[in-house]
Structure 1
Amino acid sequence: MITMEDIVKEGHDVLKQKADEVSLPPSKEDQDTLAQMLEYVKNSQDEKLADKFNLRPGVGLAAPQIGLSKRMIAVHFTDFNEREYSYGLFNPKIMSHSVEETYLPDGEGCLSVDREVPGIVPRYARITVKATTLEGEEVKLRLKGYAAIVLQHEIDHLNGVMFYDHINQQSPLTPPANAISAEEI
C-alpha cells in the first residue's frame, strides 16, 4: 500500500527526469504498482481512510512521485459537471490539444509540493490522450476543462515538469489572455 511516506518531494531528481515507457503488455509488478497508485488516490479522498492511513487528498498520482521513472499515472476525480473519471494509465500521451487555454482560478496543488504556490497554471482547454488502461485496453480519451487539467498535470510529471514551471513569474495571478476558467467549460 502506498502512503504519504512513499511520495517524493520537490527537489528529488526523479521529478526532473523524463520517465521511461512501460513495455506492453505490462509486467505483473507494473500492474500491481499502478493499481496501488489508483488505490492511493481513491483512499485519499475518503476522509476516514485518509485519516486512518495519514493520506493527503489528491486527484492524481504519477509514478515519478513514488520514485519510479516509469510512464504510469492514476487519476480519480469528479469534474465540475459531475462526470466521474477513474483510470490507471500506462504510457499516456497527448495526441492533440486545443489552441484555447484554461486554468483553475485558485491554482494547482501537488502531492509532491508541501507548500502553497500561488499562481495561475495555463493548460490546454481540450486534449486527446492515448494510453493503455490498467486492464490492458487501448483508449483514446477526449477531455476538456478540469479533466484536461488533471491529466496534463500528471503527464507533466512523466516529462519532468512541475505545475509551477508553467506559472508566469512576472504576473503569477493573471490568467492568460483568451483563456477561460475550467469552471466555465
Structure 2
Amino acid sequence: MITMDNIIRDGHPTLRKTAEEVVMPPSDEDKQILTELLEFLINSQNPEVAEKYGLRPGIGLAAPQINVSKRMIAVHIVGDKGELYSYALFNPKIISHSVERAYLKSGEGCLSVDESIPGYVPRYARITVKGFDVDGKEIKLRLKGLPAVCFQHEIDHLNGIMFYDHIDKNNPLKPIEGAIEIDS
C-alpha cells in the first residue's frame, strides 16, 4: 500500500526526469504499481481511511512521485456532471488538444509539493488522451474541465514538469486571456 511516506517531495531529482516508457505487455510488478497508484487515490478520498493512514487527499498520482521513473499515472476524480473518471494508465499521451485554454480558479496543488503555490496554471480546455489500462488494453479518453486539467498535470510529471513551472512568475494571479475558469 502506498502512503504519504512513499511520495517523494519537491526537489527530489526523480521529479525532474523524463520517465521511461513501460514495455507492453506490462510486467506483474508494473501492474502492481499502477494498481497501487489508483488505490492510493481512492483511499485518500475516503475520510476514514485517509485519517487512519495519514493520507492527503489526491485526485491524481504519477509513478515518478513514488520514485518510480516510469510512464504510469492514476486519476480518480468526479467530472462536472457527476461522472467518475477513475483510470490507471500506462504510457498515457495527449494525442490532440484544443486551442482554447482553461485554468483552475483555485490554482493547482500536488502531493509532492507541501506548500501552497498561488497562481494560475494554463492548461488545454479539452484533450484526447491515449494510454493502456492495467491489462495492456488501449484506452482513449476525451476530457474537459477538471479531469482534463488533472490528466495534464499527471502527464507533466512523466516529463519532469511541475505545475508551478507553468505559472507566470511576474504576475501569478493574472487571469489567462480567453481561457475558461474552472471551479474545482
- Tell me the TM-score normalised to structure 1 length: 0.97
1:118 positional shift: 0.3
- State how 1:82-101 maps to structure 2 within 5 Å: 82-101=82-101
Residue in 1 that maps onto 2:115: 115
The letter for the 2-side match of 1:10 is D
1:97-149 Cα shifts (integer Å, max 9, x gaps): 10100000010000000001000001000001010011322011110111110
Aligned residue pairs, count: 184
- State how 1:12-161 maps to structure 2 within 5 Å: 12-161=12-161
User: Where do 5+ consecutive residues of structure 1 fail to align?
Assistant: none
Equivalent-residue separation in structure 1 for 2:103 and 2:92 (angstroms)? 21
Cα RMSD for the two superposed structures: 1.0
User: Where do 5+ consecutive residues of structure 2 fail to align?
Assistant: none
Q: 4+ residue runs of structure 1 moved beyond 6 angstroms? A: none
Contact kept, 8 Å, 1:87 with 1:134, in 2: the verdict is no
The letter for the 2-side match of 1:102 is A
1:68-125 Cα shifts (integer Å, max 9, x gaps): 0000001101022211100110000000110100000010000000001000001000
Question: Which SS does the other structure have where 2:140 is aligned?
Answer: strand
Equivalent-residue separation in structure 2 for 1:137 and 1:18 (angstroms)? 24
Contact kept, 8 Å, 2:62 with 2:73, in 1: the verdict is yes
1:34-63 Cα shifts (integer Å, max 9, x gaps): 101110000000000000011110001000
1:183 positional shift: 3.8
Equivalent-residue separation in structure 2 for 1:135 and 1:25 (angstroms)? 8
Contact kept, 8 Å, 2:132 with 2:138, in 1: the verdict is yes
1:167 positional shift: 0.2
Contact kept, 8 Å, 1:18 with 1:159, in 2: the verdict is yes
Equivalent-residue separation in structure 2 for 1:19 and 1:135 (angstroms)? 20
